[in-house]
């Protein structure tokens, strides 16, 4: 993970309402294995976070200047000056929001594969302890990546090569409340462009329809479901989107375009790349069972809506039966 530029500043803001104090660094972080490891660990923690949003820059304006500063920096500007201007703007927005939590502000321009990214994160410390050489115990502080609530990652390569994209920025919606999320989103100057959970739910609906239309055997349906979930989770883990044509090839190697063509022909309105929502994917598991001529298989997310389970009676109530099954039952009872 080559690091092109990285720097850390500090916004010291107390909960007593006193003005924030900004401590800026005058030098970039020296290139080292430690910095690469820090960025790697930060990306792992960031990718693991649920509740992300995906979006794109607002048109540059005086109120939303970040994209213009970033563009100037990329086109030959000074990274340190860019970071100073950006963190001063962040401090101003933080003061206006009356939020009490400051922290260390990391800005890092790095390359992963062939893609350039800018990571912006407000980092907090956690107290810990260390044993020194004389075997005494002393307190220490370390960056707490598990407690990241305000962070954004900009895919610079996609932004520059595909300005019509609506998902080249991802950012944490976080758990600090809407006010905190709004001020940080305004700092980046972005708007939500893709509904990650909604897109993921639509993809899963399309897959369920595909399984029904193909009249797949239970084992085949379960195998393809596991393939979809495994691939999607792997993409989420590395912070990459689900690519429909790649997913289609994995689902059916003999007919690599079958699922892709099914989605396009049915016009589900899905983009060719979908940000994977881990929370939605975790709900998409299949329950299966077979005994004495009875075979039942359904996705976990249908439990409680189309499928109700009575634990005491050991029975299932089904709603919205497939038309093909309903027709067969009507003919058998006539």
pLDDT for 178 equals 64
Residue 213 inside a domain? The answer is: yes
**What backbone phi and psi angles, to 5 degrees, belong to 190?**
-120, 165
Q: Report the range of poorest mean pLDDT among 70-84, 159-173, 265-279.
A: 265-279
What is the rounded CA–CA span in Å between residue 69 and residue 73? 6
Residue 169 inside a domain? The answer is: yes
What is the percent of the chain where pLDDT is above 90?
Answer: 37
Judge if 145 and 203 occupy the same domain. no
Q: Do residues 150 and 176 touch, judged by C-beta distance below 8 A?
A: yes
Q: Do residues 151 and 46 touch, judged by C-beta distance below 8 A?
A: yes
What is the rounded CA–CA span in Å between residue 154 and residue 226? 30
Structural domain including 109 reads 3-194
pLDDT for 110 equals 95
Final residue before a domain boundary, out of 246, 268, 286: 286
pLDDT for 121 equals 94
What is the rounded CA–CA span in Å between residue 50 and residue 121? 16
What is the rounded CA–CA span in Å between residue 7 and residue 29? 5
Q: Do residues 154 and 86 touch, judged by C-beta distance below 8 A?
A: no
pLDDT at 226 over 70: yes
Judge if 181 and 269 occupy the same domain. no
- In the DSSP assignment, the letter for residue 64 is S
What DSSP string runs through 223-269? HHHHHHHHHHHHHHHTT-PEEHHHHHHHH-SSSTTHHHHHHHHHT--
Averaged pLDDT score across all residues of the chain? 86
Judge if 165 and 225 occupy the same domain. no
pLDDT at 3 over 60: yes
Judge if 27 and 108 occupy the same domain. yes
- In the DSSP assignment, the letter for residue 16 is T
Total domain count for the chain? 2
Q: Do residues 296 and 316 touch, judged by C-beta distance below 8 A?
A: yes
Through-space distance between the first and last CA atoms of the chain, rounded to whole angstroms: 68
pLDDT for 190 equals 92
State pLDDT tens for residues 32-54: 999 999 999 999 899 888 778 88
State pLDDT tens for residues 103-119: 899 999 999 888 999 99
- What average pLDDT does this structure show over 178-202? 85
Virtual torsion, Cα 85, 87, 93, 97, nearest 10 deg: -170
């Amino acid at each position: 993970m080559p690091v092109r530029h990285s720097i850390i500043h500090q916004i010291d803001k107390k909960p007593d309402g006193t003005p924030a104090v900004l401590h800026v660094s005058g030098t970039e972080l020296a290139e080292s294995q430690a910095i690469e490891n820090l960025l790697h660990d930060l990306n792992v923690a960031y990718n693991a976070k649920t509740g992300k949003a995906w979006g794109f820059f607002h048109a540059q304006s005086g109120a939303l200047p970040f994209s213009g500063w970033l563009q100037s920096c990329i086109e030959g500007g000074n990274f340190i000056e860019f970071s100073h201007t950006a963190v001063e703007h962040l401090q101003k927005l933080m003061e206006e929001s009356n939020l009490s939590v400051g922290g260390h502000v990391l800005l890092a321009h790095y390359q992963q594969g062939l893609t350039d990214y800018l990571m912006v994160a407000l980092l907090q410390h956690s107290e810990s302890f260390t044993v020194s050489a004389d075997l005494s115990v002393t307190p220490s502080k370390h960056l707490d990546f598990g407690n990241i609530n305000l962070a954004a990652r900009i895919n610079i390569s996609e932004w520059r090569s595909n300005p019509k994209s609506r998902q080249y920025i991802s950012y944490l919606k976080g758990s600090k409340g809407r006010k905190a999320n709004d001020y940080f989103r305004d700092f980046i100057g972005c708007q939500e462009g893709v509904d990650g959970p909604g897109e993921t739910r639509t993809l899963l609906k399309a897959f369920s329809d595909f399984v029904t239309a193909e009249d797949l055997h239970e084992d085949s349906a379960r195998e393809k479901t596991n393939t979809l979930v495994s691939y999607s989770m792997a993409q989420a883990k590395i912070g990459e989107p689900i690519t429909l044509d790649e997913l289609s090839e994995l689902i059916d190697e003999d007919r690599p375009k079958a699922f892709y063509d099914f989605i396009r022909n049915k016009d589900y309105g899905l983009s060719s790349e979908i940000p994977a929502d881990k929370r939605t994917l975790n709900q998409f598991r299949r329950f299966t069972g077979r005994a004495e001529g009875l075979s039942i298989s359904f996705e976990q997310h249908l439990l409680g809506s189309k499928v109700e389970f009575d634990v005491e009676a050991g029975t299932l109530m089904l709603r919205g039966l497939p038309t093909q099954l309903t027709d067969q039952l009507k003919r058998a009872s006539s």
